[in-house]
Amino acid sequence: MFAIIRSFIISMLFFNFFLYSKSFENPEKDKLLIEIISYVLYKGHFEPKEIDDAFSLKVYEKFIQNMDGQHRFFLNSDINNFNDYKYLVDDQIKDIKIDFFNIVYNKLKQRQDIVRNFYEDLLKDPFVFELDDQINLNFENFPYPETINELKSLWKKRFKLSTLGIFVEKKEEQKRIFDNDSTYQILTDIELEKEARNITRQNIENYFQSLDDLIRKDYFSLYINAIVEQFDPHSFYFAPEDKDRFDTSISGKFEGIGARLEKRNQEIKITELISGGPVWRDKLLEVGDVILKVSEPNKIPVEVTGMRLDDVVKLIKGPKGTKVILNIKHVDGNIEDIIVTRDIVELEDSYAKSSLILKNGLKFGLINLPKFYVDFKNYKKRNAANDIKKLILELKEENINGLIIDLRNNGGGSLQTVVDITGFFIEKGPVVQVKSTGGKKQILEDKDPSIIWDGPLVILVNELSASASEILAAALQDYKRAIIIGSKQTYGKGTVQNLVDLNTLISSNTYGNLGALKVTTDKFYRIDGGSTQLEGVKSDIIFPDRYSFIDIGEKDQENPLPWDKISSARYIPWTNQIDYNLMLEKSEKRINENKYLNLVKEQAKWIKTQQNQFNYSLNYNKFISDRDDRVDYSKKFEVLDKFESNLIFDWVANDKILIENDNELREKRNRWKENLLNDLYLPEVVNVLSDIFLSNNFDNITVLR
C-alpha cells in the first residue's frame, strides 16, 4: 500500500515542482521542504492530521519550546509578538510561507547576541553562597522574563547554581586529597569560588561557541519537526547530515560508550543502552538518565544542556581505551560523575544467548533476546529466529522442564523473525495483523505445523519491551500458550515507520540534499483484534520496578496515535491447559511477601518524587543538606544492587566447549552469569515455571484463563 501511495506522491510532486518552478524564479529550499513534507504526510501517513487552528496552536507551542524551552533568551514581549501566529501556522503551511519561522528565528538570534554581550558582567563578582535564595527550573510552568534585567537575573541564578555545584565538588575533592596527603595545600573558599566561577565562564563560552556552529537550516529543521511530530512521536524529519547518521550500519563494531541519546526540551537523555557497550556491560547508566556535563580527565567539564546533539556526541565519542567523564542526573535524581572507558561496542552481545537454571532438582532454560535482528539483504544469514531455534534445540537436549524467553529492554526489530519465533511454540496460525495507510489489512501467519517447544513457557518483559517484542508476547498470550511476566504493561509502540528519501520525490533539484522523512505508515494489531498501541501487552503476573511511576512508555510521548480495535483473526487457542488462576494466586502471594520487591515499590515512588523536584537552593549549607538527604535516602535501596539469588546457572554442552576455548567468550559469559545472579526477578519466574511443571508433570501444557 505504501509503495502505491509513494508512487502517487512522486507523480504529483513531479508535476508540483514544475508548477513551483514557474511560479517562483528562485524558490527557496525551505519552502520546497515544507511543500514536499506536508504532502508526504498528508498522503502517506497512517492517520494524517487536519491542518487547522488546533494543529497550528500545537506547532506554535512546540516550535517555541524547541527554540527556547528553558527561557534562556526570549522575553515575554517576544512571546506576545509571536502570539499573532498561534492560529496562523496552518495557513502558513498551506500557503507555503515561512514568515512565522523567520520572525522567531530572527528574534532568537537578536536575543542571543544580547545575552552574549552581558553574561561576562554577571560573572565578574564573586557569588555569595550564604544567602538564602533558590532557583526553580520548571520553566514549563513559568512565564518568560518581562525585561532584560529579569533575564539577567535568571542567567545570574543559573551561573550561581552552576558555580555552587562546581565549588562543592572542588571543596570535597580537596578534603579527599588532604585526608590522604596532609602536606597538600588547601585553597581558601575565596580561591575555590573564583576557580569554580572561571569554569562556569568557560562553560558558557563553550555554549556560545556551539551556538555559533548552528546555521539557519539547523533551526529550520526544528521548525519542520515541530510540524512533523504533531502527527505522532515517531515521524521525524532528518536533515541530510542526520540522515547519514541514521543510515550508519551497526552490523559490525563501532567505538564509543554504547548508548543512544536524544535531545528533548534542551536536555540530553539516554534512550537506549546498546548491548555489548561499556555502559551496558558495567551497568553505569540507565534509560532516562540525563547528561549534564562531559569532560575528559584533567579537563574542564562542558555543560551540554541546550547544545546541539551532534556536538554532544562528538564530545562523548573517542578512541578505544580513552576515558570520558559524564556528569549524570540519574533517574532517581542523584547527580554524580560517571567515568566511562570508551571501547569497541561488540554487537555479538546483541545476539540471543542461553543459560540453564537449576533449582530443587529441576532444570529450566533461559534465552535472552536483546533485539529481533536480521540481515535484511539475506534473511538466510544469521537472524534472531534461526538462533532462537538452535538455542531451544540445545536446551531440549539438556532435558529442561520449562523455558523463559527474556525480552526485557528489547526495542524490537524484524517482523518476520517474530512470526517465525512464534511458530516455534504453536502448530500454525496468525501471529499479527498489520493495517496500512489506506486501510488495507494483512495477516502474517506461521504456516509451519511443527512445534519446537511444547512445554511450560514464560515470556519476561518490562516497560522497555517494545514493537516486535510486544507482538511476540501478545500472540503467545492470545494463544494462551505462555504466561507473560513483568511490568504492568510493555512500552505500547504499535506502529511501523518507513523512511522516504525526499530527494527521490522531485524531477530535478538545484538545492542540494533535502534529507529524509521517517513517516508512520502501518499499525500493529493482535490476533484478537486489539492494537498494541499505547496499551502494549499487560502482564499476567506483575512485577514492581523502578520505572513504575515515571513517564517512559508510548502513552507518555507527545501526540501518540490512539488505541483501537479491528476484527479478530481466526485462530485456535492451545488445547492443553493449566489452572492459570492458581498459578497467579501463588505468585502474587510470593511477590507480596518478597522484601526486595516491596523495596522496589518504595524506590519507584521515591524516584517519581525526585523527578518532580525542580527547586534548587543556592545556599551552600542548604545545597549540601538537600544533596546529602537524597544520597542518604537512596542508600536505603543499595541492598537491591547487592541482591544475589540462590539459583544455579550453567551452560549447555556446546557452549561449554566454546567457552573453554575462547577466553573472551568466557569473560562475557561469566559477566552475564553475575548479572543473572543479581537479577531480582528470575527467582520468581523460576518459581512460576516450577509450579506449572509440578502441578502437571507432563510436557504439553499451557495457560487457562
* Per-residue pLDDT tens over the stretch 645-702: 999 999 999 999 999 998 888 988 998 999 999 999 999 999 999 999 988 654 444 4
Q: Which amino acid is at 272?
A: E
Which candidate, 108, 94, 156, places its Cα nearest to that of 131?
156
The stretch 344-369 carries a mean pLDDT of 88
CB atoms within 10 A of CB 186: 12
Model confidence at 296, in pLDDT bands (50, 70, 90)?
A: confident
| Domain annotation covers residue 22 | no
122/268 same-domain check: no
306/437 same-domain check: no
Q: What is the pLDDT of residues 367-410, one digit of tens each?
A: 999 989 887 777 777 899 999 999 999 999 999 999 999 999 99
167/223 same-domain check: yes
Whether residue 8 has pLDDT greater than 50: no
147/276 same-domain check: no
Give the C-alpha separation, 676 to 221, whole Å: 44
The stretch 300-310 carries a mean pLDDT of 78
Angstrom CA distances, 5 to 233, 437, 495, stand at 22, 8, 18
Give the C-alpha separation, 637 to 625, whole Å: 19
Residues 6+ apart with CB under 8 A from 623: 129, 164, 165, 168, 616, 617
Give the C-alpha separation, 171 to 265, whole Å: 32
| Domain annotation covers residue 551 | yes
358/450 same-domain check: yes
pLDDT at 187: 92
Q: What is the pLDDT of residues 444-483, one digit of tens each?
A: 999 999 999 999 999 999 999 999 999 999 999 999 999 9
pLDDT at 146: 97
pLDDT at 12: 39
| Domain annotation covers residue 425 | yes
Give the C-alpha separation, 233 to 468, whole Å: 18
Give the C-alpha separation, 423 to 450, whole Å: 8
Q: What is the pLDDT of residues 110-146, one digit of tens each?
A: 999 999 999 999 999 999 999 999 999 888 888 999 9
* Inter-residue contact 403 to 394 (CB < 8 Å): no
CATH number for the domain including 339? 2.30.42.10
What is the count of structural domains for the chain? 3
CATH number for the domain including 388? 3.90.226.10
pLDDT at 354: 97
Write out the three cell numbers for 197: 566561577
* Location of C-alpha cell 525551505: 30
| Domain annotation covers residue 639 | no
Compute CA 189 distance to the chain's CA centroid, rounded to the nearest angstrom: 41
- Please return the burial class of 627, using the count of CB atoms within 10 Å of its CB with bins 0-12, 13-18 and 19+: middle
Q: How many helices (H) and strands (E) does the chain have?
A: 22, 24
pLDDT at 20: 38
> At which of 169, 199, 230 does a domain end?
230
pLDDT at 21: 36
- Beta strands (DSSP E) in 526-617 are 541-542, 578-579, 615-617
Residues 6+ apart with CB under 8 A from 479: 425, 426, 429, 527, 571, 573, 574, 702
Write out the three cell numbers for 635: 542508600
Three-class secondary structure assignment of 320-367: CCCEEEEEEECCCCCEEEEEEECEEEEHHHHCCEEEEEEECCEEEEEE
Q: What is the pLDDT of residues 262-277, one digit of tens each?
A: 777 667 888 877 766 7
Q: To the nearest whole percent, how much of the chain has pLDDT over 70?
A: 90
Q: Is 173 helix (H, G, I), strand (E, B) or coil?
A: helix
* Mean pLDDT for all residues in the chain: 87
Indicate if the alpha-carbon torsion angle 580, 582, 585, 590 is positive or negative.
Answer: negative
The stretch 549-573 carries a mean pLDDT of 92
Domain around 322: 237-346
Q: What is the pLDDT of residues 307-326, one digit of tens each?
A: 777 778 888 888 888 899 99
pLDDT at 17: 37
Whether residue 186 has pLDDT greater than 80: yes
CB atoms within 10 A of CB 211: 18
pLDDT at 699: 45
Write out the three cell numbers for 191: 580561591
Whether residue 26 has pLDDT greater than 60: no
197/242 same-domain check: no
| Domain annotation covers residue 629 | no
> At which of 327, 346, 365 does a domain end?
346
Whether residue 4 has pLDDT greater than 60: no
Give the C-alpha separation, 577 to 531, whole Å: 26
302/381 same-domain check: no
217/287 same-domain check: no
pLDDT at 345: 67
pLDDT at 265: 64
- Beta strands (DSSP E) in 342-494 are 343-346, 353-359, 362-368, 402-406, 429-436, 441-446, 457-461, 483-486
**495: which DSSP letter?**
E
408/457 same-domain check: yes
Angstrom CA distances, 255 to 81, 296, 352, 356, stand at 47, 16, 22, 32
Q: What is the pLDDT of residues 599-634, one digit of tens each?
A: 999 999 998 888 888 899 999 999 999 999 988 999
335/369 same-domain check: no
538/435 same-domain check: yes
Q: What is the pLDDT of residues 153-185, one digit of tens each?
A: 999 999 999 999 999 989 998 998 888 888 888
Model confidence at 509, in pLDDT bands (50, 70, 90)?
A: low
| Domain annotation covers residue 574 | yes
368/418 same-domain check: yes
Q: What is the pLDDT of residues 401-439, one digit of tens each?
A: 999 999 999 989 899 999 999 999 999 999 999 999 888
Model confidence at 16, in pLDDT bands (50, 70, 90)?
A: very low
pLDDT at 19: 36
> At which of 291, 319, 346 does a domain end?
346
| Domain annotation covers residue 634 | no
Indicate if the alpha-carbon torsion angle 158, 136, 559, 273 is positive or negative.
Answer: positive
Model confidence at 29, in pLDDT bands (50, 70, 90)?
A: confident
| Domain annotation covers residue 397 | yes
Angstrom CA distances, 122 to 62, 132, 158, 195, 685, stand at 30, 19, 10, 15, 58
pLDDT at 319: 84
